[in-house]
């Protein structure tokens, strides 16, 4: 039983919260009541979870020695020896192809985007994770591909503003994670992740400030853009801006005052105020679209 739990942990189910971006197009394109759309989005989500888990397993195999030096990562199933390297490789070899088959069963474009995501992650693990700035940009690109896959799965065109917001928010999370890793590990940070030697807390704080302002401005412009108002049939999405401001400020508070942020998925699932804010944001968006928006397909 312990080995099974370890195998399950190695799939990193907590990280699957990132794949929630697959539903962004379903929500903001007001397609969740259209026949078959939600089912296709759910299939894309499940496939993304499987594909991401395969990538995580390969990454853990590659980084097993570095993880053993990290105060938290050394407890991962592979680094701690709870599951073996062959078991991880076999699991990844099964999950990856099955996920891609699922993506291509939705449609060709979704499958190609998923293939692009897999290629990007492999390139990241082999090369880009060791290149300053490109490392966080690659992580952000992975989030954009999640949103794009969700859009192609339900055959809608996602707003460019929404893609910009996605990459900026992903940059915000990635930079905050780098900052927290440096704060936790101090001078020994580079021994667990070599790229951290290229960053400093001051540099990361400057980057985070730029990205924070850009994220808030981009989301505000998205809600009031003519295209958004025309496609959704309402200009009231702007009333969700306070939730976005609070969410980002709350996360900054947790990073700077509570020394959190190294694991964004854990922060989202364990911080009550942030979780409530996300739920209220989603409910508010749905309420606005249902009460004031154009009916789907109209």
Name the band, by pLDDT with cuts 50, 70 and 90, for residue 118.
very high
For 232: left if phi > 0, alpha if psi spans -120 to 50, otherwise beta; the answer is: alpha
The pTM score is: 0.86
For 233: left if phi > 0, alpha if psi spans -120 to 50, otherwise beta; the answer is: left
Name the band, by pLDDT with cuts 50, 70 and 90, for residue 62.
confident
Helix axes 134-153, 108-126, angle to 10 degrees: 170
Residues 184 and 23: their CA atoms lie apart, in Å, by 33
**Residue located via tokens 């499958």:** 111
Name the band, by pLDDT with cuts 50, 70 and 90, for residue 146.
very high
Residue 187 has pLDDT above 60, yes or no: no
Residue 29 has pLDDT above 90, yes or no: no
| Cβ atoms 22, 41 nearer than 8 A | yes
Residue 189 has pLDDT above 70, yes or no: no
Residue 18 has pLDDT above 60, yes or no: yes
Tens of pLDDT, residue by residue over 151-161, are: 999 999 888 88
Residue boundaries of the structural domains of the chain: 1-158, 159-298
- The arrangement of secondary structure in 1-158, i.e. its CATH architecture, is Orthogonal Bundle (1.10)
Residues 275-288 have a mean pLDDT of 94
Residue 295 has pLDDT above 80, yes or no: no
């Amino acid at each position: 039983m312990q080995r099974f739990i370890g195998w399950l942990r190695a799939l990193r189910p907590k990280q699957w919260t990132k794949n929630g971006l697959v539903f962004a197009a379903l929500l903001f394109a007001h397609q969740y009541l259209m026949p078959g759309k939600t089912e296709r989005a759910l299939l894309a989500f499940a496939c993304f979870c499987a594909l991401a888990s395969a990538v995580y397993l390969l990454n853990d195999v590659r980084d097993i020695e570095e993880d053993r030096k990290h105060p938290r990562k050394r407890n991962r199933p592979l680094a701690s020896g709870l599951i073996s390297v062959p078991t991880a490789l076999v699991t990844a070899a099964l999950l990856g192809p099955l996920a891609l088959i699922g993506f291509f069963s939705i449609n060709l474009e979704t499958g190609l985007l998923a293939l692009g995501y897999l290629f990007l992650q492999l390139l990241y693990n082999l090369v880009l994770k060791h290149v300053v700035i490109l490392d966080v940009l690659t992580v952000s690109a992975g989030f954009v591909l999640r949103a794009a896959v969700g859009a192609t799965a339900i055959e809608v065109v996602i707003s460019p503003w929404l893609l910009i917001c996605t990459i900026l928010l992903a940059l915000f999370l990635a930079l905050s994670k780098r900052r927290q890793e440096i704060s936790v590990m101090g001078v020994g940070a580079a021994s667990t992740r070599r790229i951290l030697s290229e960053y400093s807390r001051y540099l990361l704080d400057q980057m985070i400030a730029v990205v924070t302002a850009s994220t808030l401005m981009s989301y505000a412009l998205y809600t009031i853009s003519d295209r958004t108002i025309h496609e959704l049939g309402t200009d009231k999405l702007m009333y969700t801006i306070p939730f976005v401001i609070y969410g980002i400020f709350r996360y900054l508070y947790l990073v700077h005052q509570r020394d959190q942020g190294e694991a964004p998925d854990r922060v989202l699932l364990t911080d009550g105020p942030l979780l409530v804010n996300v739920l209220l944001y989603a409910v508010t968006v749905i309420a606005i679209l249902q009460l004031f928006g154009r009916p789907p397909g109209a």
